[in-house]
Chains A and B, each alone.
Chain A
């Protein structure tokens, strides 16, 4: 339990990690992480595997409980709720209310295999947002058209390529009208020739929507071109952060230099 930080107003960032710690047993994955993401900001999270970067997204999506600290969304605690001036761990009801602001796209798509593309994008708006089915289907169709799959509405995930599945997954997440979108290595499971089509959809989202985005990525070129800010994670901490031009052209931290030269060598 800790004191609430009082007036959560306009000035609060879209997302705030306040001294967030996550440990699995004796292994500390994230160590007192502080990170603010502004409204509409696009943040790329890079770093070696095991540096805790995916955990950042999973905690924000409430897929993982945190051990210490507080995560705020639009100034409101996500992981906790206020009870008599104190913050106590959030219950399911609180989590469900705040989680609605966040959408996530996974490395392995995680589409529902027994539903076609349209149904994948209709299910949650109907059952969670209580949207009339007709309206949900119209919106889902628009979203699937936006990701270039207007002709694949009746296709099941098994009938789609990896890139197509991932684009359905993006449409599915957008159908819930999130304010924040999380992309967890969304091109890592794709064949190289399919990466471009998914990145193009994300580019389009960035240009057309007022979304705040956090992405864990190994696509350094994309991070450089797309992100407003790059955070380099090392051993559960942000070792270095800044505008992509700076991080990629002139990294100051030795770990960042090593990581970038290793990654660039590989490509």
Chain B
């Protein structure tokens, strides 16, 4: 047991970590869907003509962006129950990830929306399109493809922050590795394996994103 790397132990814990990685992936995918959706909502609300809508949203976005994700995770998990909102650890974690990265995504969308030439808005007005159809049919289809790479970066960033959910005992990769380590007093294998899992998933995600970007470019070329 004194060797630096114990292969028998490695094979023993690998299936356990593989199962835990499903929780990590679940938190990443659901968290990012929430972030991408909330981000678009924030970005559109911030464009509102009414300061009663745009200013509170801008304030909220700045507030979330300027406070640590870990505190937000704790707040949702430990403080929300005080107000009668009791969430499972995983749900609280996904909500925190979605909110936190939603504010980052909103900045990305904002840049994309700001890059749409004024003429597109004016043509929409001249054709009498409603605000809803202007956004849905004219503006958003043009604003989103150019910002997909930036959104993809936040997907990878969000994924790499999921170990923070171990702080509220979500049984994702990191928390599972910590438990394994504390049971056997061998941390080398579990922690290293978790690192390798993250490396592999990050590389796979980055490769997939490049495929999506390439596809969007070909499609955008008409």
Contacts and interface: CB of A to CB of B under 8 A. Distances in A.
A173 B221 CA distance: 25
B128 A100 contact: yes
Contacts of B81: none
B129 A61 contact: no
Interface residues of A, number: 28
B97 to A, nearest CB: 31
A207 B99 CA distance: 59
Contacts of B127: 103, 123-124, 128, 172-173, 176
Interface stretch (B29-37, B135-143, B168-176, B186-194): B135-143
B120 interface: yes
Nearest to B127: A124
Contacts of B129: 123-124, 127-128
A61 B128 contact: no
A213 B209 CA distance: 50
Contacts of A156: 222
Contacts of B4: none
A266 interface: no
B153 interface: no
Contacts of B137: 123, 127
Contacts of B133: 123, 127-128
Contacts of A262: none
A253 interface: no
B125 A124 contact: no
Contacts of B138: 112, 123
A219 interface: no
B120 A112 contact: yes
B122 interface: yes
A103 B138 CA distance: 18
B68 interface: no
Contacts of A63: 122, 125-126
A96 interface: yes
A251 B129 CA distance: 42
Interface in B110-153: 117, 119-120, 122-123, 125-130, 133, 137-138, 141-142
Interface in A146-190: 156, 158-159, 172-173, 176
Given A62-B125, A114-B220, A123-B137, A106 B119 contact: yes
A252 B129 CA distance: 44
Nearest to A176: B127
Interface string A86-121: 000000000010011011101011111110100000
Nearest to B125: A63
A184 to B, nearest CB: 10
B123 A106 contact: yes
A237 B141 CA distance: 41
Contacts of A103: 126-127
Contact of B128 (A111, A113, A128, A159): A128
B123 A113 contact: no
Nearest to B221: A158
Contacts of A124: 127-129
A116 B222 contact: yes
A64 to B, nearest CB: 10
B130 to A, nearest CB: 7
Contacts of B125: 61-63, 99
Contacts of B130: 96, 127-128
Given A114-B142, A114-B220, A106 B128 contact: no
Interface of A: 61-63, 96, 99-100, 102-104, 106, 108-114, 116, 123-124, 127-128, 156, 158-159, 172-173, 176
10 contacts: A99-B126, A103-B126, A106-B123, A113-B142, A113-B222, A114-B220, A127-B133, A128-B130, A128-B133, A156-B222
Given A96-B130, A172-B127, 8 more contacts: A63-B125, A96-B128, A99-B125, A110-B120, A112-B120, A123-B129, A156-B222, A176-B127
- Nearest first, the 7 A-B pairs at minimum CB distance are A156-B222, A110-B119, A110-B123, A124-B127, A104-B126, A127-B133, A128-B128
